[in-house]
A and B are shown apart, each in its own frame.
Chain A
Amino acid sequence: MDSYLLADADRVVARARAGDPDALEQLYRAFEAPVYNLARRICRTTEDAEDVLQETFFEVCRSIGRYREEGSLWGWVRTIAASKALMRLRRNKYRETEELHDEVTGRQREDTALRMDLEAALERLSETSRAVVWLHDVEGYTHEEIAAMMGKTPSFSKSQLARAHVRLRRWLGEEVVV
């Protein structure tokens, strides 16, 4: 992944560690798109995702000297981005989502017949569920890793994932009546 996103990654990292602003910008340009995509999939608004993008790269520039090259560069950047995005969710917790509201009003019953596309269904999940789905199913984090980033237990991550898939299945019209 590193060489796909950034040719000659080792040399760029060495220059970035030495404080070369051009190398830092190369890191930004290489990872800007996947970081923003991850942030936007987790955060509710484009503004939040852009803030996460900025905070992530500020942290990358500050901490590049501490990057140990034990894993991939993208893995390291991605973990910073995921942590920043989850931090943003915790800060915005008051906005936690329409999903619970739907349950109270009983609107979810209508969804049984309403087929949504995957983008819309993902967007409709609660912020926590969406974050778990994205980090697990798309980014490939384990429940243990997600739990550590969220400050929760692996069981919490597993149950959020299962709950999210029940909802996605219903909203996508994939529920099979037995």
Chain B
Amino acid sequence: MTHLSMDALVSLREAGQEPGDAAAREHLESCEHCREELERLHQRAARLKALPALRSARDRWPEVRARVMAERRHRRNRMAGLVGLAAAASIALAVAIGPAPGPVETSNADEIQQAMDRSQALESALHGYDPESRVLDGRTASIAQELEDRIATVDRELEVADLMEQQAREAQVLRLWRERVGLLDALMDVHVTRASNAGL
């Protein structure tokens, strides 16, 4: 008599039906050897579960905490640095456009400048609000973090846009600064709305 393979026995322990399981079950009914083999398999799994828990000899929390705190400091610094980035970008744009821009460039440049001013104003307000020092509920913290991640993505794209040709760069820069303003608006809303809801 051919007995069941370990693949078949292992498969019989699963909740779903595999191809061949019906035949394997039929075989099992008439084969004591395979029934015992399946029982030993169950027992081995039970003994594995009953193995004593292994414990770490070292407390790793101080390292974890230090890394978490370092990352928070980094994020706070990044938020503060965003204000500087807007100012730097403003100067860079003025230099790139030069003293005698054409009509299309002037229009874009004005709009970019407006978006940058708005972005800077929002960041200053946000910085003054100091969200890092405030306690957030989980949902608000999650939304705020998502918005901050998206702002960071826009900032990276702005750096890349600097390398583009002037006309394409301005269109792209304008789009990105507008997106940045929208995200900062949303982030400000998240913090201020939460504060007013919580009566802070």
Contact = CB atoms under 8 A, between A and B. Distances in A.
A17 B60 contact: no
A176 B41 CA distance: 13
Given A50-B56, A176-B33, A178-B33, A13 B49 contact: no
B136 interface: yes
A13 B61 CA distance: 17
Contact of B48 (A33, A118, A159): A118
B40 A19 contact: no
B145 interface: yes
A65 B138 contact: yes
Interface stretch (A70-78, A83-91, A145-153, A162-170): A162-170
B137 A28 contact: no
Q: How large is the interface on B (under 10, 10 to 19, 20 to 34, 35 or more residues)?
A: 35 or more
B157 interface: no
A11 B49 CA distance: 30
A46 B57 contact: yes
Q: How large is the interface on A (under 10, 10 to 19, 20 to 34, 35 or more residues)?
A: 35 or more
Given A18-B135, A61-B68, A138-B49, A33 B37 contact: no
B110 interface: no
B5 interface: yes
A20 B135 contact: yes
Interface stretch (B6-14, B77-85, B117-125): B6-14
A107 interface: no
Q: Tell me if A's interface is mostly helix, strand, loop or mixed.
A: helix
B171 to A, nearest CB: 34
Interface string A8-47: 0000011001111100110011001110110011000010
A118 B138 contact: no
B159 interface: no
B68 A162 contact: no
Given A19-B136, A58-B68, A118-B47, A50 B58 contact: yes
A119 B52 CA distance: 10
A159 B7 contact: yes
B91 to A, nearest CB: 35
A118 B9 CA distance: 20
B141 interface: yes
A162 B5 contact: yes
B138 A13 contact: yes
B6 A166 contact: yes
A158 B56 contact: no
Contacts of B55: 33, 36-37
For the complex of A and B, list the 7 residue pairs with the smallest distance between their C-beta atoms, beginning with the closest: A17-B138, A65-B142, A137-B45, A162-B6, A36-B56, A162-B7, A40-B54
Interface of A: 13-14, 17-21, 24-25, 28-29, 32-34, 36-37, 40-41, 46, 49-50, 53-54, 57-58, 61-62, 64-66, 118-119, 122, 133-134, 137-138, 142-143, 158-159, 161-163, 165-166, 168-169, 172, 174, 176, 178
Interface of B: 3, 5-7, 9-11, 14, 33, 36-37, 40-41, 44-45, 47-49, 51, 53-58, 60-61, 63-65, 67-69, 71-72, 135-138, 141-142, 145
Given A14-B138, A18-B136, A40-B54, 4 more contacts: A17-B138, A21-B68, A50-B60, A138-B49
